[in-house]
Amino acid sequence: MVHFMNIHDLDTPALVIDLDKVERNLSLMADYCRRHNLKLRPHTKTHKMPGLAKEQVKFGASGITVAKVGEAEIMVEAGLDHLLIAYPIVGKTKAERLAALCDRVDITVALDSLESVEFLAKSTRDRGVKAGILVEVDVGFHRCGVQDDQAALRLAEHILDCPSLDFRGFLFYPGSYVTQQTQEEQLAKVNASLERLLETFRTKRIPVNVVSGGSTPTARFSHRFSGLTEIRPGTYIFNDRNTLLHGATESDGCAASVLVTVVSKAVPGKVIVDGGSKTFSSDPCLAGSTGFGLIKEDPDAVFVAMNEEHGYLDISSSSRSYAVGGKLTIVPNHICATVNLHNEVYFARGETVESVCPVAARGRIR
């Protein structure tokens, strides 16, 4: 029984979520969207928990975003509606599962290929349902997305010819604008792409009702993207070390941390904690910083390496005294991938654990 126990009495490693900080983060993003007349469709791949998705809706989200059909199934089963799957659906099995969800709730899918259109057109037609479609466009991140406005137009026209598909607009992922020096140049490039795209569709008199973009690092200036109607930040609910390094949050905005225990200090200048690569994301931090997380109690210590169950802290520059059995809290570099490594999280206010919540969509990667 962990309810209302002190967080430092938890067995470790334990992923602890500060509810006061979560609520503040949700409020800040919702306020931003209201001020700039943007819809908020948060990406729930960060937390993978229907309860938190419902909190985001309470704070004003118009719907939610997921990465995979498996995540969508968990969210729909919990009673959530108006889902965007921001990932191409490829293959008969996934398309049929998607069509089954369309029987129950409103679903929109992002895609960038004729093949995806054909899979979805057949599955939805066979089931007698309709799916919304956003064409993904590449505005410079070079991961997914059609490469120019003419390719987007051709794909949209094909979608418009499919009675069981509803062309709704565009989706883009701007990536992360790391420095103020490059931000203006990158914004100008993205906006030039978006403006060409929108003008092409205006010329063809094809309605574009949705332009979906944004990310946590870019959220604070998403209103400057041309034609944007909604944003899809995910990490903002918890934030992490990379969000902090991006300048997209302050240190008091980091709501998630992993509680670990020092299990060895036998090697001079080093301590070992009981969380390694099965506990923390192995994502690197931004250029100019090192390590796999921020050690809240000792900023001079560096989380330099991991094995599966061992975390290596370099304390050679630290004046702090360490003891075997001592507890530390570490903010991961990347919280989304970290959450997916844990079966449950511990919700706390201050130093007190209030509840335990399973990570319901953990491992739902199909």
63-100 confidence digits (pLDDT tens)? 999 999 999 999 999 999 999 999 999 999 999 999 99
Half-sphere exposure of 176 (CA within 13 A, CB side): 15
Q: Give yes or no for residue 268 having a pLDDT over 90.
A: yes
pLDDT band at 178 (very low <50, low <70, confident <90, very high): very low
Beta-carbon neighbour count of residue 266 at 10 Å? 9
Residues 249, 20: contact at Cβ < 8 Å? Answer: no
Write out pLDDT tens, residues 95-123.
Answer: 999 999 999 999 999 999 999 999 999 99
222 three-state secondary structure: helix
Mean pLDDT of 226-253: 95
Domain ranges of the chain: 20-238, 251-358
- Look at residue 177 in the predicted model and tell me its pLDDT: 54
Which among 288, 284, 274 has a CA at the least distance from the CA of 325? 274
- Look at residue 204 in the predicted model and tell me its pLDDT: 97
Q: Give yes or no for residue 246 having a pLDDT over 70.
A: yes
Mean pLDDT lowest among 60-69, 147-156, 243-252: 243-252
The pLDDT mean for the chain works out to: 95
Mean pLDDT of 228-235: 98
Which among 15, 29, 26 has a CA at the least distance from the CA of 220? 29
Residues 329, 348: contact at Cβ < 8 Å? Answer: no
Helix, strand, coil fractions of the chain, as percent rounded to 5: 35, 25, 45
Mean pLDDT of 20-48: 98
**pTM over cut 0.85:** yes
Q: Give yes or no for residue 224 having a pLDDT over 90.
A: yes
- Look at residue 95 in the predicted model and tell me its pLDDT: 98
Whole-angstrom Cα Rg for the chain: 22
CA atoms of 201 and 158, how far apart (whole Å): 14
Write out pLDDT tens, residues 322-358.
Answer: 999 999 999 999 999 999 999 999 999 999 999 999 9
CA atoms of 14 and 128, how far apart (whole Å): 46
2.30.33.40, 3.20.20.10, 3.40.50.1100, 3.40.190.80: which CATH number matches 20-238? 3.20.20.10
Q: Give yes or no for residue 366 having a pLDDT over 50.
A: yes
Q: Distance of alpha carbon 300 from its chain centroid, rounded?
A: 29
3.40.50.1980, 1.20.950.20, 2.40.37.20, 1.10.3720.10: which CATH number matches 251-358? 2.40.37.20
Q: Which long-range contacts (CB under 8 A, 24 or more apart) does 155-159 make?
A: 155/111, 155/112, 155/113, 155/114, 155/117, 156/201, 156/206, 157/206, 158/114, 158/117, 159/117, 159/133, 159/135
